[in-house]
Amino acid sequence: MQSKAPSVLISACLLGDAVRYDGRSKGVDHPAITMWINTHCLVKICPEVSGGLPVPRLPAEIISGGDPESVRSGRIVLHSAAGQHVSEPFLRGAQAALKLAKAHGVCLAVLKEGSPSCGSGYVYNGQFDGGQVSGQGISTTVLRDAGIPVFSEHALDEALVHWQRIASHTL
Ligand code: SF4
């Protein structure tokens, strides 16, 4: 029996799904994506939609700026227009992402940079002024805490090298 290629969790918006807060997508074209599509190993999720948020939705930012310890601590996401805390759907979405990742035994995740759910190197600063700070989104924190490497769409070369290393041991 032929072994299956190791699975990769990916942000749905990076595959062209119009699930972003503004009702748009952020599709990327990269040899890694082509490779993973051809080997049927992509598992896509939009954590915010899985957490129960609609499309479109108000933009949200992490008040504390995405420091992992702050992200773990609870009420950390702000609705821009209404100023409401909206942590719960983000946390639900992160748990849905983790559950899906575990169900498919993913070897890594590629998530959209800058998002309060999916960011892996930076997020917006919680002031809704366009400022960025080093940090990571809620889903990224949950996945990394579970030992799953998370790459952004800007690090697809590195993600592909990581995937190929694991695939070479399983295929
Ligand atoms: Fe894309 Fe993640 Fe935002 Fe969903 S939550 S739109 S997958 S960046």
Alpha-carbon dihedral of residues 91, 103, 166, 123, nearest 10 degrees?
A: -10
Q: Which atom of ligand 1 is nearest to the CA of 93?
A: 5
118 lines ligand 1 (CB under 6 A): yes
Q: Is this prediction's pTM over 0.85?
A: yes
Q: Which atom of ligand 1 is nearest to the CA of 117?
A: 5
Best residue among 10, 15, 17, 20 to mutate for probing ligand 1's pocket (most ligand atoms within 8 Å of CB) is 20
pLDDT of res. 1 = 47
123 pairs with which residues across the strands? Answer: 114, 133
pLDDT tens-digit map of 105-127: 999 999 999 999 999 999 998 88
117 lines ligand 1 (CB under 6 A): yes
Give the residue, by CA position, lying nearest to ligand 1 atom 1: 13
DSSP assigned state of 14: G
Give the residue, by CA position, lying nearest to ligand 1 atom 4: 46
Model confidence at 147: pLDDT above 90: yes
Alpha-carbon dihedral of residues 37, 121, 74, 60, nearest 10 degrees?
A: -80
Q: Distance between CA 3 and CA 104 in Å, rounded?
A: 14
Residues 6+ positions from 147 with CB-CB distance below 8 Å: none
Residues 6+ positions from 44 with CB-CB distance below 8 Å: 9, 10, 11, 12, 15, 17
CB 133 within 8 A of CB 125: yes
pLDDT tens-digit map of 25-72: 999 999 999 999 999 999 999 999 999 999 999 999 988 766 777 767
Rounded to 5°, angle at Cα 4 from 38 and 171? 95
Q: Which atom of ligand 1 is nearest to the CA of 21?
A: 6
